[in-house]
Amino acid sequence: MSPPKSSDHGPAPAIVCRGVGKRFYYYEHRTESLRELFRRSIMRRPIHIRRPEFALTGLELSIAQGESVVLLGRNGSGKSTTLRLMAGVYEPSEGVVETHGSLTAVIELGAGFQPELTGEENVELYGAILGLSRIHLKARFEEILRFADLGDFITTPVKYYSSGMKARLAFAVAVCVRPDVLLLDEVLAVGDFEFQQRCVERLGTFHSDGGTLVVVSHDLPLVRQLCSRGVWIDRGRIVMDGPVDAVADAYLAGVAEGG
């Protein structure tokens, strides 16, 4: 995996957010049926009553290739929104998000899993969805199954899996796709301690191979092991950006103060 280079100044950053803002609408009334739409249009009443809310404003963030970053923050602070913007699932309302290199995001557990298919079949399907070619998939199949460690359950339909099992399967495939950039949204929380340690190990290999990692997590001890840099987002803005221990400590202190 050779990192893409920009024309002169050395390797391009893996992810750049410049002046990024994300606006959502808070609806006081939302017309959800065609019949109501018709009625309201005839009666000249407003179709939606809504106001904009900025989940993120003025986000400036640059993540270099090979960095491992954690996004910290209270629920609703905008950290998941940031991750989704990086993943391309959301489009920014303002500003620019740039990513360089192949990117794999695990945001919702089992997104793309077909409940009726077995674990093995879902590995094939999910791998294909994530852009893994047939050849690579065959070569890495054993590796994926070994990491997921589901034993005989690999041949049962995924609808019978616990969320921990789904997490292991999704994570195994995502990591074995060997993307340049890996984004994880609180999926590690679902597994047990043993799985989390295996993830830390596997992500360590990912890191030493030069991969870039961005995670959203509430598990501070875990992310201290996993990441070198922390970004604290509060109410849609970056409050602190630095070495993970410093940021995690500050975040904890901030939470303790009820701020």
Partner 1 sequence: MRDRRIMHSSRQRWSITEVWRYRGLLRTMVVWGLKVKYQRSILGFLWTLLNPLLMVATLTAVFGYIVRIQMHDYWAFLLSGYFAWNSITLSLFAGTYILAEHGSLRRSISFPSEILVFSAAISRLVEFAIETVLLIVVLAVAHHHGVPSGLLVTPLLFVPLLLLTAGLMLPIATVSVFFRDTQHILPVVLTALFYLTPVFYRVDMVPHALQPWYAVNPFALLLVQFHTALYDGRVPSLAMFSRTMAVATVAFVVGYALFNRYKNVAAEVV
**Which residues form the interface with partner 1 (CB under 8 A)?**
4, 24, 31-35, 37, 84, 87-103, 105-108, 110-112, 114, 116-117, 125, 128-131
The dihedrals phi and psi of 29, each to the nearest 5 degrees, come to -140, 135
Residue 45 C-beta: closest distance to partner 1, Å: 16
Residue 59 C-beta: closest distance to partner 1, Å: 12
Of the two residues 181 and 203, which places its CB atom closer to partner 1 in the complex? Answer: 181
Residue 109 C-beta: closest distance to partner 1, Å: 8
Residue 33 C-beta: closest distance to partner 1, Å: 4
Of the two residues 105 and 215, which places its CB atom closer to partner 1 in the complex? Answer: 105
Listed residue (183, 253, 170, 173) closest to 216, CA to CA: 183
Q: List, in sequence order, every residue forming a beta bridge with 116; answer none if it has no partner.
A: none
Of the two residues 116 and 143, which places its CB atom closer to partner 1 in the complex? Answer: 116
Residues 241/231, Cβ–Cβ less than 8 Å: yes
Residues 71/65, Cβ–Cβ less than 8 Å: no
Residues 130/104, Cβ–Cβ less than 8 Å: yes
Which residues have C-beta within 8 Å of that of residue 186, sequence separation ≥ 6?
Answer: 80, 216, 217, 218
The residue behind tokens 């994926």 is 144
Of the two residues 78 and 92, which places its CB atom closer to partner 1 in the complex? Answer: 92
